[in-house]
Amino acid sequence: MKNVLLKVAIVSGMVTLGGCSSVMSHTGGKEGLYPGTRASSKMLMDDDANLAVKSLVVLDMPFTAVADTLLLPWDMFRKDNSVKSRVEKAEEANLATNSVIPPAAMPAP
């Protein structure tokens, strides 16, 4: 009985903690398809990440891929209304305006 309870606790803990990258990626703005898996692969390729972080990413990556697959319909149909995307759109509009109407030349002192 103790072994069964221990196995259930370990499996439920892995399921609960698994997919961290996917959950963190889906709480922000729209990042495209499979954002958690892409974030995990970037972390694995990062030279600044230490071995402990990379080992946790390797353990979490299968759960992240499954969570991203389950959230694929959400990613395909959701609209991005995050603050980040609104700021980026405003900056793009300002850059487009500045390229059409260049700033005035400053007079020489």
Q: How many domains does the chain have?
A: 1
What is the C-alpha separation between 89 and 86, in angstroms, rounded?
5
Residue partners of 83: CB distance under 8 A and separation at least 6: 29
pLDDT tens-digit map of 28-40: 766 788 888 888 8
Residue 57's pLDDT band (boundaries 50, 70, 90)? confident
> Which domain, by its residues, includes 10?
2-100
Is the pLDDT at 51 greater than 80? The verdict is yes
Calpha distance 26→24 (Å, rounded)? 6
Separation CA 95–CA 52 (nearest Å): 42
The three-state secondary structure class of 18 is: coil
Has residue 28 been placed in a domain? yes
- Whether residue 63 is contained in a domain is answered as yes
In 3D space, the residue among 7, 43, 8 whose CA is nearest the CA of residue 22 turns out to be 43
In a domain, 58, yes or no: yes
